[in-house]
Amino acid sequence: MSELLAGKTALVLGVANRWSIAYAISSAFVREGASLILTYQGERQRATVEELGGELKASKVLNCDVTKPEEVESLVASLREAPGKIDAVVHSIAFANRDDLSRPFLETSRDGFLLALEVSAYSLVTVARAVAPLMSNGGSVTTLTYLGSTRVVQNYNVMGVAKAALEASVRYLASDLGPRNIRVNAISAGPIKTASARGIKDFSKVLDSVASLAPLRRNTDPSEVADAAVFLASDLGRGVTGNVVFVDAGFQIVGIGLSE
């Protein structure tokens, strides 16, 4: 079968390590023939992401903390120099204070709320606005979300509110960018053990619960999320925009499930 992303250049934000969902997506993109550019969040991540970028033959590995406008600007300046054109963007970024993912949502501080919303939702707007001028042949922007945006998931708290804002942002961005043939979608992934997920209190109980109740009776594998990201970034996804695509072993359809 021919490669689905041959000739396309993809910018992937959010690889922290080998367990990151963005890493699984990057690997699948390379498998499908894409040329890859990765970003890392500050010096602390630099060596790891450069090493992973080397394995994936990324053409560039660039610094970008999405809350720092000057770093977003210098990212875009570097992209403009080379490769000059971007076809696909993956935004796989979120953050909330650990305290806010363990105590009642009612206790969320103003600072914690604003921080979660800035990093996890507004950054999609920042990135889309910055990169869209480089998507001169149209393209695809994909972000990662979670069911906690529309349902109460214990301890997900302010991150659920941020994901609700993120999903609404997907729809408004899809509307603004559609006339330029730029599609904007979210993948709602089932729970996956990553560094970020470990920050949520009792996360391993969530994994157990999902595996026993999801129609497929198992958890989500990062490679499944990655293959959906390939679809959205490829020409196969050309008619899909403003959507939230669930890759969660079907858990989102469960009303009342009785654990076996």
Ligand X SMILES: NC(=O)c1ccc[n+]([C@@H]2O[C@H](COP(=O)([O-])OP(=O)(O)OC[C@H]3O[C@@H](n4cnc5c(N)ncnc54)[C@H](O)[C@@H]3O)[C@@H](O)[C@H]2O)c1
Rule CB under 6 A: which residues touch ligand X?
Answer: 14-16, 20-22, 41, 45, 65-67, 92-95, 119, 144-146, 189, 191-192, 194-197
Least Cβ distance, residue 227 to ligand X (angstroms): 15
CB closer to ligand X out of 72 and 86: 72
Least Cβ distance, residue 244 to ligand X (angstroms): 11
Residue 146 among the catalytic residues: yes
CB closer to ligand X out of 90 and 132: 90
CB closer to ligand X out of 169 and 196: 196
Whether 134 contacts 84, CB under 8 Å:
yes
Nearest by Cα to 59 from 4, 19, 8:
8
Structure tokens at 133: 């001028």
Least Cβ distance, residue 45 to ligand X (angstroms): 6
Residue 23 among the catalytic residues: no
Query: What does the DSSP 8-state code read for residue 148?
Result: G
Angle, CA of 230, 236 and 29, to the nearest 5°: 20
CB closer to ligand X out of 22 and 128: 22
| C-alpha to C-alpha distance for 121 and 140, rounded to whole angstroms | 17
Least Cβ distance, residue 138 to ligand X (angstroms): 24
Structure tokens at 6: 């041959």
Other C-beta atoms within 10 Å of 77: how many? 9
CB closer to ligand X out of 3 and 118: 118
Q: Which helix (H) or strand (E) holds 60?
A: strand 60-63
Q: Catalytic: which of 40, 122, 146, 172?
A: 146
Least Cβ distance, residue 213 to ligand X (angstroms): 16
Angle, CA of 146, 230 and 197, to the nearest 5°: 30
Q: Catalytic: which of 23, 122, 156, 172?
A: 156
Nearest by Cα to 64 from 8, 112, 136, 119:
119
Task: Specify the residue for token string 């969660």.
Answer: 248
Could you give the 3-state DSSP secondary structure of residue 214?
Answer: coil
Pairing of strands 244-247, 182-189: parallel
Catalytic machinery residues: 146, 156
